[in-house]
Amino acid sequence: HGKWLLVDFIYTRCPTYCVALGGEFAQLQDILAKPLAQGKVQLLSVSFDPVHDTPAQLKAYMQHSRDRGLGWIAARPVEPQGLVQLKQAFGITVIADPASGGYTHNAAIHLVDPRGRLVQIFDENAPDLVGKAVLRRLAQ
């Protein structure tokens, strides 16, 4: 609470959408550098694959995505019920794909206001649009 939050849902072995989302968060670190440094905005990647996505894997994912070390956290829920609740709250669909060992899932960036309310969802691959929307809301 108290800051704007941009949230995405990922798994580190994902070869497609999650790679793109990581790159977008790195770009958003540039676009939103000032409000991130001021603590007005936080970027959060939530893993929906806590078995494979260890803290070391999450750190490697961020490094591979060119994390600038500014206002971005990657985490995994500790309790399975917490993950279920997060997926429900954000409308995240995750379907295991036994053939590949991965998942089929939706990909988006979710904007949460300082009161904890989900206020906007952006399709992936639009960091400029996301950045402008956040800056506009900060100026209000």
Check residue 52 and give its pLDDT.
94
Can you point out the beta strands (E) in the chain? 4-10, 41-47, 72-75, 94-97, 102-105, 108-112, 118-123
Check residue 125 and give its pLDDT.
84
Check residue 100 and give its pLDDT.
87
Q: Cα separation of 106 and 131, whole Å? A: 21
111, β-bridge pairs: 6, 120
- The three-state secondary structure class of 139 is helix
Is residue 25 within 8 A of residue 43, CB to CB? The reply is yes
Check residue 85 and give its pLDDT.
96
Check residue 129 and give its pLDDT.
96
Q: Cα separation of 26 and 70, whole Å? A: 9
Amino acid at 34: K
CATH code of 4-139, in short, is 3.40.30.10
Q: What are the structural domain ranges in the chain?
A: 4-139
Amino acid at 90: F
Instruction: Tell me the pTM.
Output: 0.94
Q: What is the pLDDT along the chain (140 residues), one digit of tens a residue?
A: 799 999 999 999 999 999 999 999 999 999 999 999 999 999 999 999 999 999 999 999 999 999 999 999 999 999 999 999 999 999 999 999 999 889 999 999 999 999 999 999 999 789 999 999 999 999 99
Is residue 56 within 8 A of residue 33, CB to CB? The reply is no
